[in-house]
Amino acid sequence: MTGPKNLESRTKHVKETWAKRCDNVLYMSSVKTDFPTVELNVSEGRDNLYWKTIRAFQYVHQHHLDEADWFLKADDDTFVVVENLRYVLSKYDPEKPWYVGRRFTPFISQGYMSGGAGYALSKEALRRFIKGFDTGQCTHFSTIEDMALGKCMETMKVKLADSRDVKGRQTFHPYPPDYYLIRQLPRPRPWYLIYEHYEPTEGPGCCSDYIVSFHYIYGVQLYVLEYLTYHLRPYGYRHRFNPDEKTELNTTM
């Protein structure tokens, strides 16, 4: 999800980093350009984010439904480790109605997934999302994109998957790494923690070894995370892979 004013400052850097590891990438905007972007029939602006998401998924459903098992919505300031995303998704059947991301609690009975951290819809979840708007079961009732989409998921009986690892650590993150990795001094509880479905933790144990995403990552920071993820290695250290977590990574998105 992007816009004309972000193509140079954000989107081109996404294209040069993590997006190259996806099977198919679509850059959704209000204007068609040589970048390339898909022109959606919607205006830019925060109040139109949910319309933009609706139109984007309608476009994907019409033109690309049979090209992938999973459909990830991410912003142009989100960093994604695609291999870890495949690993998380490999535990779920894309022909079942699954919705995967960072689970938030308020407003919707079953909760909803953070928009900034990115979320993935299974093929069946995408079909149900489109059906919801075709039948009038889902509507554009709010400008809060991720919450409104979560309401449609609940209405269409799409289940929220648990994206945490076997140790209960989070993989999708709606903020940059320093919000989680640095244990803060005692302070009033940050407002955003009231959204968390699972009890949040701070410090190195906060986050999975198989992190999927961080949000609010801009320009050069994408390249820094790219380097730290794929190139930095301590000499003589071999990571021990937990055999209980091993699975076939055979999904596409």
Pairing of strands 119-122, 70-73: antiparallel
How do residues 219-230 score in pLDDT, each as one tens digit? Answer: 899 999 999 999
Q: Residue 102's closest CA among 129, 77, 74, 125?
A: 74
Q: Write down the domain spans for the chain.
A: 4-232
How do residues 135-182 score in pLDDT, each as one tens digit? Answer: 999 999 999 999 999 999 999 999 999 999 999 999 999 999 988 887
Q: Could you confirm whether domain 4-232 is CATH 2.40.128? A: no
Residue 207, amino acid = C
Q: How confident is the model at residue 47 (pLDDT cuts 50, 70, 90)?
A: confident
Q: How far is it, in rounded angstroms, from Cα 89 to Cα 134?
A: 27
Give the chain's mean pLDDT: 90
How do residues 183-229 score in pLDDT, each as one tens digit? Answer: 765 566 666 677 888 887 778 788 999 999 999 999 899 999 999 99
Kind plus residue range of the DSSP H or E element containing 220: helix 220-230
pLDDT at residue 243 in the model: 42
Q: The pTM is what? A: 0.89
Residue 192, amino acid = Y
Q: How confident is the model at residue 98 (pLDDT cuts 50, 70, 90)?
A: very high
pLDDT at residue 247 in the model: 46
Q: How far is it, in rounded angstroms, from Cα 35 to Cα 27?
A: 9
